[in-house]
Amino acid sequence: MTTVTTTRGRAPHAGQRVHATGAALGTAPVAMILLHGRGATARDILMLAGAFEREDVSYLAPQAAGHQWYPLRFVEPTARNEPALSAALAVVDDLVADVAAAGVPPERTVVLGFSQGACLATEYAARRPRRYGGIVGLSGGLIGSDAEVTAHAGDLAGTPVILGCSDVDSHIPLTRVKATSKVLAGLGADVDETIYPGMGHGIVEDEVRRVRALLDALARTA
C-alpha cells in the first residue's frame, strides 16, 4: 500500500497535510485529487467523496497553506498571484506524479476543484495538457487576465472536462466560464459545460451526478 501524507514542492504550500479516503493507493484502479476553495479545508472537499458512491476510488485532498491557493481573485494577472499560484500548481503536479507512481496513471486520475480549487484544476489542465481521467471545475475557470487565458497550447487528447456554474455567481464571471470551455475544447478536451440559472456559489446534485457518471465510466475501463 502506498501513502501520500504531505505535499511536496515549494513554499508556501509544501509540507501541508494530504487527507485521503476511499480505496488505498496501490489497490485503487481510479484516483481523484480534490482541491478545496478559498477559506475552506481539504476535509471539507473530501466530504464530496461519499456522494460519488465509488469506494473503489482513491481520493486525495491537499490542504492549501493559509486556506487559500493564491491571494487575489483568479481574474487578476497571474503575476499578482505569485509565488503562491506556481506553488499550488506544483502541488497538483506532484500529486498526479505520486498517484502515477502508485499505479494509477493520469489517464485514470480525475482532478476536481470547487471555486478557487476549480480555478486551480482547470489552470493545471491548461498548463499541463495531456490525457487525464477527467478535469472537473465546479464554479471556477482559468486563471489570469483575459489575454492570458487564451495563451495555452498543447493537447488534452479527449480528456473529459466537466464544468458547472451559476449564471449569476458573484465570484465567477459567466464570461470566464465560457472562455474556459472554449480554451479547453480548443486544446482537445471533451467539454461538458452546464450553466445553472439562479444557482448560488455552491455544488448541486446534478453536478454530483455528472461526476459520478465520469467515475463509473473510468472504473468500467480500468
> Cα–Cα distance between 113 and 136 in angstroms, integer?
6
The pLDDT of 53-76, averaged and rounded, is: 97
CATH number of the domain residue 96 falls in: 3.40.50.1820
pLDDT in tens, 79-131: 999 999 999 999 999 999 999 999 999 999 999 999 999 999 999 999 999 99
The model carries a pTM of 0.96
Number of domains in the chain: 1
Question: Cβ(156)–Cβ(187) under 8 Å?
Answer: yes
User: Please, what sign has the CA dihedral across residues 211, 159, 98, 103?
Assistant: positive
Q: What is the reported pLDDT for 17? A: 96
Range of the domain at 43: 2-221
SS3 content of the chain, % helix, strand, coil (to 5): 35, 20, 40
